Structure 1
Amino acid sequence: MIRVTIRRKSNRLIESFSVKGHANFAPHGQDTVCAGVSAVTVGAVNAIEKLAGVQLKCKMKDGFLSGQVTSEYPPVIEAQVQLLLESMIVSLQTIEDSYGKYLQIEDQ
């Protein structure tokens, strides 16, 4: 199972996320759940870098990705980063709605 953890500040802004595990929905190379989660999460990190000009503090290895918002940004940039992260969560929830046996999201 893939476990996604979203951590929020007291003001509900996202400060970090982590993605751990493998879906085991299908054999390696054919697992569309893993591929979807990877595309959504890595795509969000790439979009934040390209569109907001911000590099999250990230770690990535087999079956693991984490991202952390490391600095205070001007309000416009902060809003862009948060919108892209919230969009990532909505996309992951869409996958979870159909494949909840293989993906669990915890929003703290």
Structure 2
Amino acid sequence: INGHAGYAEYGQDVICAAVSALVLNMANSVETFTDDHFEGSVGEDGGSFSFSFPDKISSESQLLMKSLILGLENIRDEYGAEYIKFRFREV
């Protein structure tokens, strides 16, 4: 996750707030409900978040990631692709 949506001024942007809530919930859910190890970091500016699994991930974590993507797609569909863009990278 990188950058701000630009839908509204900083602190008032519902898209940024929704994306942040979904991402934080996904990370907390993986940590709470699975045994998978992951690496996550938040940028100093608060506008970026990186999340990766260094090892093979469980079906539970895969489901949680799919749920995150579904939520992000729903935000994009509701507010417009100009405010939220996806780039998937598998490493």
Q: Return the TM-score normalized by structure 1.
A: 0.73
The runs of at least 4 consecutive aligned structure 1 residues that moved more than 4 Å come to none
How does 1:1-108 map onto structure 2 within 5 Å? 19-61=1-43, 62-72=46-56, 78-99=58-79, 100-108=81-89
8 Å contact 2:15–2:75 — kept in the other structure? Answer: yes
- Structure 2 residue identity aligned to 1:83: L
Instruction: Report the 3-state secondary structure (helix = DSSP H, G, I; strand = E; otherwise coil) of the residue aligned with 1:106.
Output: coil
**Corresponding residue pairs, total:** 86
- Structure 1 residue identity aligned to 2:42: M
Identity of aligned residues (%): 30
- 5+ unaligned residues in a row in structure 1: which ranges? 1-18
- Higher strand fraction (1 or 2): 1
- 5+ unaligned residues in a row in structure 2: which ranges? none
Instruction: Quote the Cα distance in structure 2 between the aligned partners of 1:55 and 1:106.
Output: 23
Greater RCO structure (CA 8 Å; 6+ sep): 1
